[in-house]
Amino acid sequence: MTVALAVTWNPRGELPRFRRLLPRLDKIYGDIVIYFAPQVDPEVVGCFTQGEFSNRANIRIITRPEWTFGRTLVLQKALETTATHIHYADMDRLLRWVETRPAELVRTVALIQETDCLLVGRTAEAYRTHPQALIQTEKISNQVVSYLLGREVDVSAGSKGFSRQAVEWIVNQAHFCHSIGTDAEWPLLMSQAGFRMDYVEVDGLDWETADRYREQAAGPELQRQLAETVDQDPQEWRRRVEIAQEIVTCALNLYSKGGEKPD
């Protein structure tokens, strides 16, 4: 069995870290499929189309003028590989994970190959590194999705693994939600279709935003300082509320289209 990595990426200074960490990723994944955000620096894309990564047969990219369905489209692109399983991740989170806790990532990728859908959540310790603006709003969206799934899960950590058959189902069925809404859409589609679903919590998905434009992943003290700064910004609270609302709306829309309320 092989695993392809499917990521969405809006680079914020992570290219040097990607370059440095690529050998580790190569040992874990057979293929890497990247969906770049529309506003990405053309020089970054150029590294993959005509520069240093352009001769890598195991790296594929997607560039589109819109971002709306990026997560689902990168899963679809990953089906062009021969992988038996696909690991979706947000690239900024994935880079932090492979840099700070590579052994844990390897164990998690092994678990992906044992199920149809592996929801990857955060341990309590990992969650505590995030700003309260994120913790308090995600608490709501996670509670709604957990209720509809009939089990307590953290679905907003930016990481989920699937069998090839599960991805084929998602690609054929997904049409209710924009990218952020897939945090609810994908697991609910899996549940409704009767796919096997498992759940694991990891430390490696601690708060990644503090890493932006840095040569290496931020340490705990810097994470704490920047999280406090985020929490002082009313616009950040508003943005996080809108994200939670998008996830909840997607979950309820999908339920209304045929989901069954758990006993």
What would the mean pLDDT of 46-59 be, rounded to a whole number?
A: 93
pLDDT above 50 for 262 = no
Neighbouring CB atoms inside 10 A of 153's CB total 18
pLDDT digits (tens, 9 = 90+) for 14-45: 999 999 999 999 999 999 999 998 889 999 99
How is residue 185 written in tokens?
A: 């859409």
pLDDT digits (tens, 9 = 90+) for 139-160: 999 999 999 999 999 999 999 9
CA 2 to chain centre: 19
Q: Are 252 and 144 in contact (CB under 8 A)?
A: yes
258 falls in which pLDDT band (50, 70, 90)? low
> Coil, strand or helix: which one is 155?
coil
pLDDT above 70 for 5 = yes
pLDDT at 226: 98
Percent of the chain's residues with pLDDT above 70: 97
pLDDT at 34: 97
pLDDT above 50 for 242 = yes
Half-sphere exposure of 150 (CA within 13 A, CB side): 10
What is the maximal distance between C-alpha atoms in the chain?
54
SS (H, E, C) 178-216: CHHHHHHHHHHHHHHHCCCEEEEEECCCCCCHHHCCCCC
Closest CA to 11 of 53, 44, 46, 60: 44
pLDDT above 70 for 75 = yes
Q: Which residue has better confidence, 184 or 174?
A: 184
pLDDT above 90 for 189 = yes
Q: Residues 196, 92, 156, 240: what is their CA dihedral angle, to the nearest 10 degrees?
A: -160
The rounded distance, in Å, linking the Cα atoms of 177 and 159 is: 17
Please, what are the domains in the chain? Answer: 3-256 (3.90.550.10)
> Coil, strand or helix: which one is 187?
helix
pLDDT at 263: 39
pLDDT at 176: 66
Q: Which residue has better confidence, 82 or 68?
A: 82
pTM for the whole structure: 0.95
